Structure 1
Amino acid sequence: MRKDIHPQYGPVVFRDKAAGFAFLTRSTLSSATGAKTVEWEDGRTYPVVDVEVSSASHPFYTGTARVMDSAGRVERFERRFGKR
């Protein structure tokens, strides 16, 4: 394997500011050099990446997703192609 071609893989905190939710994981993604860091629950400092949507704020995972009018679509399909 060639050396020095792979990105750094290490611990990173992903933070959803809209929901006030953060989680620690490992990733090749990190904030820019000298940018934001955060002190985690274990007392260590990790780079932080702010995200707009996470499982804590996504409508599908929070149960606030709107249901489309699927009955109208089914009826329209049956009118066009008939029931079998």
Structure 2
Amino acid sequence: MEDRAIVRPEDVHGRAGLVSYLEHLVAEIETGKIVTENPRTHMYIEAASAWTDGLDLWLEGKGIGLSENPTWQIVAMIFTAAVYCE
């Protein structure tokens, strides 16, 4: 995990950075610094963060390798998992 929170999308350079950025978004929403229309948005983002953090183990169980340059399919899996986990 990153030592400091990633607070800008352009600073995300890998899976750990994405997890850090998503965790930052959750914190900003929970503290009211970011206001969302859906009061459960933070839960969806939190689910995406948790699933992304454990993505390598899930993919390993499926016999799929994880590269540092994920495919659009992996991105779609993250969003799909967040829908079901939230």
TM-score greater than 0.5 by the shorter chain: no
Scaled by the length of structure 2, what TM-score is found? 0.19
Scaled by the length of structure 1, what TM-score is found? 0.19
Larger Rg, first or second structure (1 or 2): 1
Structure with greater strand share of residues: 1
Structure with greater helix share of residues: 2
